[in-house]
């Protein structure tokens, strides 16, 4: 070959190498840019899979891995991650009170369905019993804010919390984790599955075991309080006999025997002067005594005193869900049939002191629910999309409560003693509530232009609740030598006259709700990355009777159904080539006949009254959520919610006029944020360092807005550091509530019995989690 030919060949080869290098560089740059982009989030808020940025609803979505990293074990932990959300437990761990943007009800009685709906895999949980189930093997949680009455039904005036568990896949899948930590914590989770018959039948099994000693101690016997002991499992089968048909069956159940919720007993009278204490003195804990027993709470909020040595809460739950989905050319048909069973047994000292002031030795509740939803969804690419369906639910809820009041005043504990005039008595409450709900619904989206889409939805609900209710009163320290039932030894006084020995017949009532709910929305696509929306929706919540009534017919009153007209406008945008995500929303609620539950001092003295009343309120506010990935490996997130919620009409016949006061569980400001940085430590190891925080301003626990029923502003910081190996094993060290900040999360007014009932957050915890994923 000539020199000239060699030069040409060498130049050609050099150009080829440079071209290939440039192409390789372009591919690398493209991959790097893609790694900097935030993941697309698919949600099913509107009963179809959609990009969260394109849904005209304010939604906070949390993935399963994020929930695991944040240590979310039940719904209570979501409060730290979702601005505007408040979830609390007061008398027990299993029946929460849930508020979203100030909308909720403070009623911990299971017959009162909340204003924020809870669904698990498209199954609506009507009763609060068992709503704080163990969170494990979860794919994501979606928190939908604002009324969701069109697609989810009544009792969603505040919004909906959707839990979606991980489904079976045909690919082999296995993961497991063990967490060991403070208070002898041992949490174990495992899940796995795959194909039993290729492309036809898949299965998945998952389980969780959570055990931890209590972080508080009973000084009477050194037994720990507020412990955790939970076992739960889930088994799923997915059959795809053809390309357009899927049959999915999920069976799950669990058991729990944990400590009943422990708390301090804060007195109401100055121990030195004998005068009534101020709210600030009561919160100080060691200044005030119970005027009946002279008991003073401990300075150490984790050192408790209770004469009931076995405070426990037992839970059993079971659910069976069958879904059948036919994917047609034009229409998808989905059928979801479900059975849900929950049972709770509770034994608790209410006054948590060495004295027998108020004891709850028996609180048994069980709920059996069956539901059926049949849904039709359009399956096309045209400008018109729709979903329509039928819904049916039936639930039977049974409750038995036994409460002993002021047994301490019995002059001879060896004999029965009955003094209803001074509230020295035993009360038993028995009720059964049967709920049936039927609904028809439809929602349509129509693209008016390439940029503008209109949404219209309507649902008509026909609800009926049948309630059989009675309370009995009798002596403390009853004679238990006979085999007769307690209620056979008691006298009925649902007529508010406990001294009348005439046994009343059970009160039988029927409550009907036949009302429409609707949603109207406009969504405008400003550009490929930015969407604007506005909406108007109506939500309703069924009325009924106050099943918390124990001592007086004054308590057993009816309340009207509540309604809410919600107006919202928002912006959802991805910026800087999807490296920054910014979502904002503003809202206004016209809230009518909201149901307000409270414990109130009894004007006649003695045992406090449980009251359920209607009121009106206005709520407005704004939210912002930001996610960012400024450099590869660094993920940042921030969220904030401002809520201004005040009563516009609320006159309590006992406590006065609360117009202008702030609603319960509606802090003005909530914030949360997180930062996680990951980097390669070698060819096989990746390091990870992260922190997250949560903050909320002052919160009121009653309509009085006065201490001690007020929680101060507070915040928490959590830290974690970890290493992951390419083989699938991951080690994480964590510290939660780093500064060991202690604060009130809830409180009840039992001042008629001489004390307040506070609940505090958990102390600092720390530990090590080892995960493995195939």
Confidence tier at 33 by pLDDT (50, 70, 90): low
Q: Flag whether the pTM goes above 0.95.
A: no
User: pLDDT tens digits for 354-379?
Assistant: 999 999 998 999 999 999 999 999 99
CB atoms within 10 A of CB 405: 28
User: pLDDT tens digits for 327-358?
Assistant: 998 999 999 999 999 999 999 999 999 999 99
Lowest-confidence region among 484-493, 620-629, 737-746: 484-493
- 406 near 476, Cβ under 8 Å? yes
Confidence at residue 30, expressed as pLDDT on a 0 to 100 scale: 57
Using H for helix, E for strand and C for coil, what is the string for 337-385? Answer: EEEEEEEEEEEEECCCCCCCCEEEEEEEEEEEEEEEEEEEEECCCCCEE
Instruction: Give 507's contacts (C-beta < 8 A, 6+ positions apart).
Output: 467, 468, 469, 470, 494, 556
- Judge residue 419's burial from the number of C-beta atoms within 10 Å of its C-beta, 0-12 exposed, 13-18 middle, 19 or more buried: middle
**Mean pLDDT, the chain, integer:** 89
Confidence tier at 73 by pLDDT (50, 70, 90): confident
Residue 566: pLDDT above 60? yes
How many whole angstroms separate alpha carbon 26 and alpha carbon 246? 42
Confidence tier at 470 by pLDDT (50, 70, 90): confident
How many whole angstroms separate alpha carbon 713 and alpha carbon 740? 15
Confidence at residue 422, expressed as pLDDT on a 0 to 100 scale: 83
Lowest-confidence region among 40-44, 444-448, 498-502, 680-684: 498-502
Confidence at residue 481, expressed as pLDDT on a 0 to 100 scale: 60
Which of 604, 732, 760 has the alpha carbon at shortest distance from 285? 760
> Which run of H or E residues covers position 28?
helix 3-36
More confident residue, 111 or 633: 633
User: pLDDT tens digits for 645-704?
Assistant: 999 999 998 889 999 999 999 999 999 999 999 999 999 999 999 999 999 999 999 999
How many whole angstroms separate alpha carbon 734 and alpha carbon 765? 8
The full DSSP string for 664-690 is TT--SEEEEEEEEEEEE-SSSEEEEEE
Confidence tier at 772 by pLDDT (50, 70, 90): very high
How many whole angstroms separate alpha carbon 263 and alpha carbon 353? 10
How many whole angstroms separate alpha carbon 470 and alpha carbon 401? 11
Confidence at residue 503, expressed as pLDDT on a 0 to 100 scale: 47
Mean pLDDT of 588-612: 87
Confidence at residue 112, expressed as pLDDT on a 0 to 100 scale: 82
Confidence at residue 202, expressed as pLDDT on a 0 to 100 scale: 98
Confidence at residue 479, expressed as pLDDT on a 0 to 100 scale: 74
Percent of the chain residues topping a pLDDT of 70: 92
Which of 510, 575, 752 has the alpha carbon at shortest distance from 655? 752
Confidence at residue 498, expressed as pLDDT on a 0 to 100 scale: 44
Residue 29: pLDDT above 50? no
The full DSSP string for 38-75 is PPP-EE-TTSS-EEGGGSSS-EEEEEHHHHHHTT--SG
Confidence tier at 276 by pLDDT (50, 70, 90): very high
The full DSSP string for 400-431 is EEEEEE-GGG-S-TTS-B-BGGGTBEEEEEEE
Which of 454, 465, 525, 499 has the alpha carbon at shortest distance from 154? 465
Confidence at residue 766, expressed as pLDDT on a 0 to 100 scale: 97
Confidence at residue 491, expressed as pLDDT on a 0 to 100 scale: 52
How many whole angstroms separate alpha carbon 374 and alpha carbon 759? 42
Confidence tier at 58 by pLDDT (50, 70, 90): very high
Confidence tier at 130 by pLDDT (50, 70, 90): confident
User: pLDDT tens digits for 142-199?
Assistant: 999 999 989 998 789 999 999 999 999 999 999 999 999 999 999 999 999 999 999 9
For strands 634-649 and 609-628, give the pairing: antiparallel
Instruction: Give 10's contacts (C-beta < 8 A, 6+ positions apart).
Output: none
Residue 233: pLDDT above 50? yes
Residue 65: pLDDT above 60? yes
How many whole angstroms separate alpha carbon 282 and alpha carbon 269? 8
Confidence tier at 505 by pLDDT (50, 70, 90): low
Confidence at residue 93, expressed as pLDDT on a 0 to 100 scale: 62
How many whole angstroms separate alpha carbon 298 and alpha carbon 313? 24
Residue 489: pLDDT above 60? no
Percent of the chain residues topping a pLDDT of 90: 68
Confidence at residue 11, expressed as pLDDT on a 0 to 100 scale: 44
Instruction: Give 370's contacts (C-beta < 8 A, 6+ positions apart).
Output: 337, 338, 339, 340, 393, 394, 395
3-state secondary structure of 256: strand
């Amino acid at each position: 070959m000539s020199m000239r030919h060699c030069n040409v060949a060498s130049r050609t080869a050099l150009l080829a190498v440079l071209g290939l290098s440039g192409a390789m560089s372009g591919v690398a740059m493209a991959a790097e840019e893609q790694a900097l982009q935030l993941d697309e989030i698919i949600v099913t808020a509107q009963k179809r899979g959609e990009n969260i940025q394109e849904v005209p609803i304010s939604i906070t979505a949390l993935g399963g891995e994020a929930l695991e990293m944040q240590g979310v074990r039940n719904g209570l932990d979501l409060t730290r991650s979702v601005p505007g959300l408040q979830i609390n437990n007061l008398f027990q761990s299993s029946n929460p009170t849930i508020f979203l943007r100030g909308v909720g009800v403070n009623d911990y009685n299971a017959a009162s369905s909340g204003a924020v709906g809870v669904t698990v895999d498209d199954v609506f949980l009507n009763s609060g019993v068992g709503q704080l189930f163990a969170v494990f093997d979860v794919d994501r949680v979606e928190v939908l804010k604002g009324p969701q009455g069109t697609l989810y039904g009544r009792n969603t005036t505040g919004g909906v919390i959707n839990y979606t568990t991980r489904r079976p896949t045909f690919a082999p899948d296995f993961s497991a984790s063990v967490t060991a930590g403070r208070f002898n914590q041992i949490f174990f989770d495992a899940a796995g599955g795959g194909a039993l018959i290729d492309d036809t039948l898949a299965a998945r099994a998952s389980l969780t075991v959570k055990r931890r000693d209590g972080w508080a101690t009973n000084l009477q016997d050194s037994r720990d309080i507020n412990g955790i002991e939970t076992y739960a499992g889930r088994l799923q089968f997915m059959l795809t006999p053809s390309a357009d048909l899927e049959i999915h069956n999920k069976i799950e159940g669990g058991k729990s025997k944990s400590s009943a919720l422990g708390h301090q007993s804060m007195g109401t009278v100055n121990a030195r002067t004998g005068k009534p204490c101020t709210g600030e003195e009561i919160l100080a804990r060691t200044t005030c005594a119970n005027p009946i027993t002279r008991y003073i709470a401990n300075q150490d909020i984790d050192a408790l005193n209770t004469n009931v040595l076995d405070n426990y809460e037992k839970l059993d739950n079971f659910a069976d869900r069958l879904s059948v989905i036919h994917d047609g050319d034009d229409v998808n048909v989905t059928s979801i049939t479900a059975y849900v069973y929950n049972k709770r047994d509770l034994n608790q000292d209410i006054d948590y002191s060495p004295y027998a002031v108020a004891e709850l030795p028996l609180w048994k509740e069980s709920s059996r629910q069956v539901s059926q939803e049949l849904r039709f969804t359009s399956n096309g690419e045209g400008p018109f999309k729709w979903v329509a369906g039928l819904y049916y639910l039936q639930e039977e809820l049974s409750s038995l409560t036994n409460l002993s009041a002021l047994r301490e005043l019995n002059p001879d504990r060896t004999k029965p003693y009955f003094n209803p005039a001074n509230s020295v008595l035993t009360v038993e409450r028995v009720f059964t509530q049967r709920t049936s709900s039927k609904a028809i619904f439809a929602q349509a989206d129509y693209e008016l232009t390439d940029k503008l889409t209109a949404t219209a939805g309507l649902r008509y609900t026909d609800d009926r609740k049948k309630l059989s209710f009675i309370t009995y009163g009798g002596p403390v320290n009853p004679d238990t030598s006979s085999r007769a039932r307690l209620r056979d030894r008691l006298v009925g006084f649902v007529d508010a006259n406990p001294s009348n020995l005439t046994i009343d017949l059970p009160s039988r009532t029927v409550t009907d709700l036949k009302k429409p709910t609707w949603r109207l929305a406009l969504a405008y696509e400003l550009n490929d990355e930015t969407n604007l929306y506005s909406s108007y929706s109506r939500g309703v919540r069924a009325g009924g009777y106050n099943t918390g009534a124990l001592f007086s017919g004054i308590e057993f009153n009816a309340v009207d159904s509540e309604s809410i007209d919600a107006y919202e406008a928002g912006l959802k945008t991805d910026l800087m080539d999807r490296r920054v995500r910014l979502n904002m929303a503003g809202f206004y609620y016209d809230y009518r006949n909201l149901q307000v539950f409270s414990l109130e001092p009894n004007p006649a003295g003695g045992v406090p009254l449980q009251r359920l009343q209607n009121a009106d309120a206005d709520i407005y506010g704004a939210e912002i959520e930001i996610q960012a990935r400024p450099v590869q490996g660094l993920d940042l997130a921030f969220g904030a919610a401002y809520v201004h919620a005040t009563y516009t009409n609320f006159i309590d016949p006992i406590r006065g006029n609360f117009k202008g006061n702030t609603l319960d569980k509606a802090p003005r400001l909530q914030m949360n944020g997180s930062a996680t940085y990951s980097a390669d430590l070698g060819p096989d190891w990746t390091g990870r360092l992260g922190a997250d925080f949560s903050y909320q301003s002052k919160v009121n626990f009653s309509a009085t807005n006065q201490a001690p029923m007020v929680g101060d502003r507070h915040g928490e910081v959590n830290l974690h550091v970890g290493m992951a190996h390419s083989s699938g094993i991951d080690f994480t060290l964590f510290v939660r509530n780093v500064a060991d900040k202690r604060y009130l999360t809830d409180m009840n007014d039992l001042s008629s019995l001489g004390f307040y009932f506070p609940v505090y957050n958990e102390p600092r915890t720390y530990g090590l989690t080892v995960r493995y994923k195939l």
